[in-house]
Chains A and B, each alone.
Chain A
C-alpha cells in the first residue's frame, strides 16, 4: 500500500493518533446514569443467563470500540489517499497521442475510417489503468494537448472533439520520464518514433488514387495563356480513373485513364478556353478509400492588358522590355510633359517623381526627390544585395543574388516594406498606400536590366499593381497571406476567421479549397490543396501493435479513499442502527 497525499510515517502517526483519540474518548465517555432498583435479583438472573450463554454478549463491548476505531481509521487513512497496486494500480501517467494526419480519414473494409478505429482504441486505453492513473490526450496537429487528468470523462470528451486535420503532422513533445506514451496511428505519416512510444496500430490496407499536384501556370509561348498541370497517382491496385477539370464559367475538361499500381499520370491541360476564376480538378475511381486527395483547386487570372505610362528622359532597356510585354499597353512621355490621367493603370517613373503622388500605382526607378518619397540621405557605393524577400509578389521567380550595383541612394526605410537590401541601405522598397515600388538605384548604374529576372520583376510589379495574380499555393492548416488586414472568404463567399501576424493575414484552411483574401482593392487568391504523395500513399505503413500496447485493468475504478469513506458511512449507519436497538454499545 502506498499513499499519495501523506508519507507512510505521517499516515501511521495519523492512524495512531486517531485510534488513541477514539480509545481515550471511549473511556472518557459520560458515566452511566445510576438508577436505583428495588432489587437486582431478577436483573442478575437475566444478565447472568445472557452473558453465560452468548459469546456476542461478551464481545459486544469489544466490537463496539473496534467498530468506532475502524470508522475513525477509515476516515483518517482515506485522507492519505492510499492505493493498493493490485486493486487500484499504481499512480501512473499515460499519454495518448492520436494521429490526426489526413490519412486517418482513410476508410477501412468495415466502412468506418481509421480515425474512428483510433477513437475506439484510445477510449479502450482510457478504460485501463487504475483510478489514480492520469491521462493526457495529445494530437499530432498541435490542436489538442490536454493536461494530465484522472477524469476519464473529460479525456473522452476531448477525443470526441478531435478529428483528422489536413496539416503536416508532427509527433508532439511528450515527457516520457514518468509516463507511458501510447501512439494510436496508421503509421503512414510517422516512420520514426521515439523508443519509449508504444504503438497502437489502426492500419489496414486500402485502395487510393490521389491528386499529388495541381497548379495553373502561365504559358511562356502564348500571351496571356495559362495551363493547368495535374499529377495523379494510383496507390492501390490498377484502376480506371476519371479526371475532370472544371472552371467557374462552365468550361470542362474530362479524361479517363487507366493507372497501374503506383503509376503516375502527369499532364498539362490547356486552359485557353477557360475564363478567369476558380478551377477545380477532381478524380473518380472505384473503391477509393481517401476522398480528401480526390480534389484540388487553382485560380485562373482574368485576362486584361495594363495601360502603363512610362515617364522617362530615355531608357531603351526599359522601353524595349515594356513594348515586348504583351500584357502592357505602353504610353510614353518625358517628365516635362507629365500629366496624370485617369485612363492610366500604372506609372513607371524613371529618375523622376512628380510633386504629388499619383492616384495609380507607380514603379519609381532611382531615388528622385519628392515630398511624398523618402529623401536620399547619402550615397552608397557598390552596395551588395544581402537580403531579399522571395515571398513578396514582386520577387516571384526573381533572383537578385548576383546583381551588381554601382551606386545607390541611402534612404530611411521606416514604414516601408524592404524587398531587397544591402547592409548599408534598402535597394528595393515598397509602399502599400499609396502603392508604389522604388529602386534606390538607377538602372544604368546596375546590371539588373541584363539579368533574366528583370523582365519577370517588371512583370511582377505591374501584376502586383493591377493584374490579378496566380493563386498562392498552400497546404491545409495555417495559411499565410502576404496582405495585412485581409478578409478571407471561401470560393462560396463564406468568411473564414483570420488573424493578423506581422503584416500578414493568417487563416486556417481545414480542407482543400480556393480562398480569396481581400483588403480594399487588393485581392489575393490562395489555392489550398493536399497534393502530397506522403498523404495519398495510405499504404505506406509498417505499423503494428506493440506487445504492451494495452494497459492493465484493475478491480476498482475509483481511488481507494472513496471506498474507505463509503465503508465508514456504512459502518456509521450500521452502528447507528444497532446502537439505537442496543445491539451494540
Chain B
C-alpha cells in the first residue's frame, strides 16, 4: 500500500464514514429498517398480505380469527427476509488515473464510503474492479468489521487498460449472480459506449445506480496553443491547436455527453449522480442517499 493510499483511508476518513452512517440512519429513521428485503413472500416476521388457503400450505400461518369471522380459511403471508447484494463496479481503466486528485482516488473514497454504509446496514457488499474486463473481485462481505478488507481491495486497484464495461459486466453477470443493486462508479469514457454496458446490467435485472466521476481538468481543460493530445488509454495521439472556440466546442460536447448519460438514466429510471473530483466526497455520498435508491 502506498503512502498516498494509506492517507486515503486515514482516521479522518473513518470518522467521516461514521458520520455518514449516522446521517444515513437519521435520514431514513422511521421509514424502513436498515436491512434490505426481497419482494418474496416467505417466512419472515413482517406481515405482508393474505391469500386463500390451498392444500399444502403451512397450517401455522392460517388466520384463525379470520376463519371465525368469515368461515373461510385464509392464510397470512409474511415477507421473506433476505439480504440482497450490492455490487460496486469500480472503473479502474487508465483514464481513471487522471486529474488531481485522480478520479480513481476519488472513486476509492466514494466506493469505500458507500461500502461502509452497506456493511453497516448488513448488506452483502461486492466490489468489482473492471477495465477491459473484470480485473478483480472482492467476494461478498457483510458487517462493518469487513470494511478494512474492502479498503485493502480498493487500495490495491491499479489503473490500467482500456475501458470495455460491456464485456466486463457481461463476464461478471453471466456467472450465477443474485440480483441486487449495481453501483457503477466510472468516468464513462468507453470507446464502446456506456449504454450497451448498462443495458447488460439492466438485462440481468439489477437495480442500477450510476455515479459519474469527472475531473475538473476534463470539465474545463487548462490547455492552450499547439499540442499533441495523447489518449491515456489507447495512446493514440493527435495534433491539435487549442483555440478559444475549440475549447468552447469541447465544453459543449462534454456537457452533451453528461446529459446523454443522465438522459439514459432518466429513461430507464436509474439512479444518477455526477460529480467532479474537487467536490467533497461526503457531500456526494449524501447526494446518493438523497436519490433514495441506495438505502431502502
B54 CB within 8 Å of chain A = no
A35 in complex: contacting residue of B95, B230, B245, B250, CB < 8 Å: B230
* Contact indicator A40/B234 (Cβ below 8 Å): yes
* Contact indicator A38/B238 (Cβ below 8 Å): no
Question: A511 vs B215: C-alpha distance in the bound complex, in angstroms?
Answer: 97
* Contact indicator B241/A39 (Cβ below 8 Å): no
**Chain B residue with the shortest CB-CB distance to A45:** B253
* Contact indicator A41/B241 (Cβ below 8 Å): no
* Contact indicator B232/A36 (Cβ below 8 Å): yes
A-B pair count, CB < 8 Å, reads: 85
* Contact indicator A585/B226 (Cβ below 8 Å): yes
Contacts A40-B236, A582-B241 hold; do A35 and B227 have CB atoms under 8 A apart? yes
A25 CB within 8 Å of chain B = no
Contacts A42-B254, A581-B244, A582-B241 hold; do A34 and B226 have CB atoms under 8 A apart? no
B229 in complex: contacting residue of A31, A35, A49, A50, CB < 8 Å: A35
Contacts A32-B227, A33-B228, A45-B253 hold; do A38 and B239 have CB atoms under 8 A apart? no
* Contact indicator A39/B232 (Cβ below 8 Å): yes
List residues 185-244 of chain B with CB under 8 A from any CB of chain A: 187, 189, 191, 215, 218, 221, 223, 225-234, 236-244
* Contact indicator A582/B244 (Cβ below 8 Å): yes
Closest beta carbon of chain A to B238's beta carbon, Å:
6
Question: A42 vs B240: C-alpha distance in the bound complex, in angstroms?
Answer: 13
* Contact indicator B241/A35 (Cβ below 8 Å): no
List residues 547-585 of chain A with CB under 8 A from any CB of chain B: 581-583, 585
Chain A interface residue count, CB cutoff 8 Å, equals 23
A residues in contact with B189, CB < 8 Å: 38-39, 41
Question: A582 vs B226: C-alpha distance in the bound complex, in angstroms?
Answer: 9
B238 in complex: contacting residue of A39, A40, A45, A585, CB < 8 Å: A40
Contacts A45-B253, A46-B246, A581-B243 hold; do A38 and B98 have CB atoms under 8 A apart? yes
Question: A33 vs B249: C-alpha distance in the bound complex, in angstroms?
Answer: 21
* Contact indicator A582/B231 (Cβ below 8 Å): no
A219 CB within 8 Å of chain B = no
**Chain A residue with the shortest CB-CB distance to B94:** A38
Closest beta carbon of chain A to B192's beta carbon, Å:
11
Contacts A36-B230, A37-B231 hold; do A50 and B225 have CB atoms under 8 A apart? no
A43 CB within 8 Å of chain B = yes
**Residue with the greatest number of chain B CB neighbours at <10 A, chosen from A34, A37, A44:** A37
Closest beta carbon of chain A to B216's beta carbon, Å:
12
* Contact indicator B223/A35 (Cβ below 8 Å): yes
Closest beta carbon of chain A to B37's beta carbon, Å:
40
A321 CB within 8 Å of chain B = no
B residues in contact with A583, CB < 8 Å: 243
* Contact indicator A35/B226 (Cβ below 8 Å): no
A47 CB within 8 Å of chain B = yes
B residues in contact with A581, CB < 8 Å: 243-244
Question: A47 vs B254: C-alpha distance in the bound complex, in angstroms?
Answer: 13
B227 in complex: contacting residue of A34, A44, A50, CB < 8 Å: A34
Question: A583 vs B245: C-alpha distance in the bound complex, in angstroms?
Answer: 9
* Contact indicator A39/B257 (Cβ below 8 Å): no
Closest beta carbon of chain B to A92's beta carbon, Å:
50
B residues in contact with A45, CB < 8 Å: 253
* Contact indicator B230/A46 (Cβ below 8 Å): no
List residues 24-80 of chain A with CB under 8 A from any CB of chain B: 31-47, 49-50
Question: A42 vs B255: C-alpha distance in the bound complex, in angstroms?
Answer: 10
B residues in contact with A47, CB < 8 Å: 238, 240, 246
**Chain A residue with the shortest CB-CB distance to B233:** A39
**Chain B residue with the shortest CB-CB distance to A64:** B241
B109 CB within 8 Å of chain A = no
* Contact indicator B238/A32 (Cβ below 8 Å): no
Bits for A6-35, please: 1 = Cβ < 8 Å to B, else 0.
000000000000000000000000011111
**Chain A residue with the shortest CB-CB distance to B99:** A38
* Contact indicator B228/A46 (Cβ below 8 Å): no
Question: A581 vs B245: C-alpha distance in the bound complex, in angstroms?
Answer: 9
**Chain B residue with the shortest CB-CB distance to A34:** B228
A residues in contact with B229, CB < 8 Å: 35, 37, 40, 43
B103 CB within 8 Å of chain A = yes
B residues in contact with A49, CB < 8 Å: 249
* Contact indicator B95/A42 (Cβ below 8 Å): no
Question: A49 vs B252: C-alpha distance in the bound complex, in angstroms?
Answer: 13
List residues 98-112 of chain B with CB under 8 A from any CB of chain A: 98-99, 103
B residues in contact with A38, CB < 8 Å: 95-96, 98-99, 103, 187, 189, 215, 218, 232-233
Closest beta carbon of chain B to A52's beta carbon, Å:
13
Bits for A357-379, please: 1 = Cβ < 8 Å to B, else 0.
00000000000000000000000
* Contact indicator A46/B249 (Cβ below 8 Å): yes
Question: A583 vs B221: C-alpha distance in the bound complex, in angstroms?
Answer: 19
- What are some 18 contacts across the A-B interface (CB < 8 A)? A32-B239, A33-B225, A33-B228, A36-B98, A36-B230, A37-B231, A38-B95, A38-B218, A39-B189, A39-B231, A39-B232, A40-B234, A43-B238, A46-B253, A47-B240, A47-B246, A582-B245, A585-B241
Closest 10 CB pairs of A and B: A582-B243, A39-B189, A38-B98, A40-B231, A38-B95, A32-B228, A34-B228, A46-B249, A32-B226, A35-B227
Interface residues, chain A, CB within 8 Å of chain B?
31-47, 49-50, 581-583, 585
